[in-house]
Amino acid sequence: MADLFADTYALIEILKGNPNYEKYSERSLITTEFNIFELAYALYRDFGDDAIDTLRLVRDAIAMEYVGDDDYIEASKIRLLTNKESKNLSLIDCLGYSCAKRLGIKFFTGDQEFEYMENVEYVK
């Protein structure tokens, strides 16, 4: 079982070498294909076709979590509830957060919208 569910934000900060994320680069991380897709976009935006090598390295180093229908419904609930609290969470963020809760691990991110939410390992 992974230690933390890595949000795309966290994956990018690890890859950028953010010193606040250094200790997490050796942890056992899990994510979804949706987060990998977001990461691919950010890498391609910044590095063009060279992004493929980094993306492959990430895939080799991280576990993938299968997302099911229950996860989609729970993520939808989370988004509706948090948007009522004036949070602006994406569906992919809500999906990762719901997967982390289901797995009994913390959602690892630096997204300020999650800073004071329960079950979050918030690192800036």
Give the tens place of pLDDT for each residue, 10-22.
Answer: 999 999 999 999 9
What's the whole-number mean pLDDT along residues 13-40?
A: 95
Give the tens place of pLDDT for each residue, 60-100.
Answer: 999 999 999 999 999 999 999 998 888 889 999 999 999 99
Q: Does 53 have pLDDT greater than 90?
A: yes
What pTM was estimated for this model as a whole? 0.94
Query: Which pair of structure tokens corresponds to residue 18?
Result: 């953010």
> 64: how many CB neighbours lie within 10 A of its CB?
12
- Cα distances (Å, whole numbers) of residue 96 to 9, 65, 70: 12, 9, 13
Provide CB contacts within 8 A for 6, sequence distance 6+.
14, 29, 30, 31, 35, 62, 108
Q: Is 108 left (phi over 0), alpha (psi -120 to 50) or beta?
A: beta
Domains, the chain: 4-122 (3.40.50.1010)
